[in-house]
Chains A and B, each alone.
Chain A
Amino acid sequence: MASLYAASAGRLTGLLTLMGGDRAEAEDAVQDAFAALLPRWDHVRRYDDPEAWLRQVAVRRLLNRKRHLGRRQRILGAAPRAELVPEPGADRVDLEAALWALPPQQRAAVVLHHVLGLPVDAVAAELHVAVGTVKSRLSRGRASLAAHLRVEAEHDA
């Protein structure tokens, strides 16, 4: 499992940081997901893609925390963000600011679809929502991003 951690932890953290807008929370979700995997490793290791199991657990934890923390999250969302990675260029700052302005569920759909390249039905399965819901979230998310960034929105697969 240590080798899976070495191969996946950074990638998952990057994905969840983009999805959640907060590196510390992304780290927590990833570490918690691996901690949840540890006692189940003998079972999950037989899966075709154990990282997919991890990603589902981590994304769910991230979104649940966002949903449940309510007021705390709103307050912390306005707090200064600790920067732990090299400062990105202005275009990335704009992109991430626009992304983090999206509602969490829209953001999750956009990241899973565009970063991981998951098809719409796979995104729906990971987020436990209907395919139509994912299409709607992708459409609205892209429209919002395009409005912010003037990036030409793509069409659904």
Chain B
Amino acid sequence: MPDLTELLTDSAARHAVAPRGGFADVEQRASRNRKRKAALVAVLGSGAAAVVVLVASTVAPRAGVQPDQPSIPGSESSAQQPPPCPPPPRGVQGAGEPGPYGSGLGSAVAAELDGWRVSAPDPRTGDFPGCASSGEERAKARAVHYPLADYDAVVGGRVQVETQAGPSGPTIQLTTARYTPSLTEDDAAAVARGFLDQQAEELRQMIAQNPSPAPGGPTAVSVATAPESEGKTASGGHWWIYRGQQNKFGFAWTPNGALTVARMDPDLQTDEATRWLRDALLAAAEFQASR
């Protein structure tokens, strides 16, 4: 019988495969680290909370194509959008350009940043723009601040994700909140974009490694709650389960090229923010793919 050292050495050798992403991924991580450190430096020494909101439009499924539904318990379609939000309250004026919801909440600042619209929260209440137009809803919105340990450790950031019916269809807001002072818009945006970029890049790489069976990429997109395991869908698609550092998700292609993305983090299954984040992942992937 081989001894313990031999067995362990052999096992380690069997796992000795270079990480996915290769050295290019290392360079991307190093770049993100530099941005985070720059954001950290920028926030040292001040007082008021700074928040930015990134808004992107979701990409609707192509007309005439219906995604097959995967045989995953609890799956749901992205067509099931939350009900439209009430109009934002009026009378709260901010500086800068009007935001996507008019001149009310969330319109304080608007700046184009590589396609992401960056805006600030209501300076009077500190609330995020979006559906939180009543006191109860505002409290709910504040409660879904989505902690990301990765950013906590470096800049103490939080990412919040919301969906809302905008003037041109459903929109997604990704909010980076920095409760340490003097975070500039660019710095806060860099934090949020870093998160998005990381998510989108992971998803993009997964999709690139396992391309759509249909020519031309995804024909439709849907989302699902966390599947239990890797396996076949009823229509013959296949789940690839990925367990990344912070966010676990998988995806499946159906034979007609419809893409289903599922979150894999069991901590988040019952949290409404999970649904928003899934949508955000899709939007980020589409955004990345369009660049």
Contact, CB under 8 Å: A92 / B7: yes
**Quick one: closest B residue to A151, CB to CB?**
B4
Q: For B14, what are the chain A residues with a Cβ–Cβ distance below 8 Å?
A: 14, 85-86, 88, 92
Give chain A nearest CB distance to B40 CB in angstroms. Answer: 15
Please tell me if A9 contacts chain B, counting CB pairs below 8 Å. Answer: yes
Contact, CB under 8 Å: A76 / B243: yes
Please tell me if A25 contacts chain B, counting CB pairs below 8 Å. Answer: yes
Chain A interface mostly: helix
Contact residues, A28-45 vs B (CB, 8 A) = 28, 30-32, 34-36, 38-39
Please tell me if A10 contacts chain B, counting CB pairs below 8 Å. Answer: yes
Give chain B nearest CB distance to A9 CB in angstroms. Answer: 4
Contact, CB under 8 Å: B11 / A13: no
CA distance in complex: A92, B4 (Å):
11
Residue of B11, B26, B29 touching A92 (CB-CB under 8 A): B11
Residue of B21, B30, B242 touching A82 (CB-CB under 8 A): B242
Contact, CB under 8 Å: B15 / A9: no
Contact, CB under 8 Å: B26 / A13: no
Please tell me if A49 contacts chain B, counting CB pairs below 8 Å. Answer: no
- State the total of A-B contacts with C-beta under 8 angstroms: 139
Contact residues, B193-251 vs A (CB, 8 A) = 228-230, 241-245, 248
Contact, CB under 8 Å: B9 / A31: no
Contact, CB under 8 Å: B4 / A153: yes
Please tell me if A57 contacts chain B, counting CB pairs below 8 Å. Answer: no
Contact, CB under 8 Å: A38 / B30: yes
Contact, CB under 8 Å: A75 / B267: yes
Contact, CB under 8 Å: A35 / B245: no
Q: For B8, what are the chain A residues with a Cβ–Cβ distance below 8 Å?
A: 18, 95, 99, 110-111, 114-115
Which size bracket describes the interface of A in this complex? Answer: 35 or more
CA distance in complex: A110, B8 (Å):
9
Q: For A46, what are the chain B residues with a Cβ–Cβ distance below 8 Å?
A: none
| Chain B 97-108 per-residue mask, 1 if CB under 8 angstroms from chain A, else 0 | 000000000000
Contact, CB under 8 Å: B16 / A151: no
Q: For A84, what are the chain B residues with a Cβ–Cβ distance below 8 Å?
A: 17
Contact, CB under 8 Å: B17 / A10: yes
Residue of B4, B19, B243 touching A142 (CB-CB under 8 A): B4
Contact, CB under 8 Å: A17 / B4: no
Q: For A95, what are the chain B residues with a Cβ–Cβ distance below 8 Å?
A: 7-8, 11
Contact of A27 with B19 at beta-carbon distance under 8 Å, contacts A35-B26, A142-B4, A151-B7 already known: yes
CA distance in complex: A9, B241 (Å):
23
Contact of A34 with B26 at beta-carbon distance under 8 Å, contacts A91-B7, A153-B4 already known: yes
Q: For B18, what are the chain A residues with a Cβ–Cβ distance below 8 Å?
A: 5-6, 9-10, 13
Please tell me if B1 contacts chain A, counting CB pairs below 8 Å. Answer: yes
Q: For A111, what are the chain B residues with a Cβ–Cβ distance below 8 Å?
A: 8, 12
Contact of A85 with B15 at beta-carbon distance under 8 Å, contacts A79-B266, A80-B228 already known: yes
Contact, CB under 8 Å: B243 / A92: no
Contact residues, B1-59 vs A (CB, 8 A) = 1, 3-5, 7-23, 25-27, 29-30, 33-34
Contact, CB under 8 Å: B19 / A30: yes
Contact, CB under 8 Å: B241 / A28: no
Contact, CB under 8 Å: A9 / B11: no
Contact of A5 with B15 at beta-carbon distance under 8 Å, contacts A22-B243, A24-B244 already known: no
CA distance in complex: A110, B196 (Å):
38
Q: For B34, what are the chain A residues with a Cβ–Cβ distance below 8 Å?
A: 39
B8, B30, B244: most-surrounded residue (chain A CB, <10 A): B8
Contact, CB under 8 Å: A11 / B16: yes
Q: For B7, what are the chain A residues with a Cβ–Cβ distance below 8 Å?
A: 91-92, 95, 151
Contact, CB under 8 Å: A31 / B4: no
Contact, CB under 8 Å: B27 / A38: yes
18 sampled A-B residue pairs with Cβ under 8 A:
A5-B18, A5-B22, A11-B16, A15-B12, A24-B243, A27-B20, A28-B244, A35-B26, A68-B149, A76-B243, A76-B248, A76-B266, A79-B266, A81-B243, A111-B12, A142-B4, A145-B4, A151-B3
A-B residue pairs, 9 tightest by C-beta: A14-B16, A35-B29, A27-B19, A14-B15, A17-B15, A24-B243, A38-B30, A34-B26, A35-B30
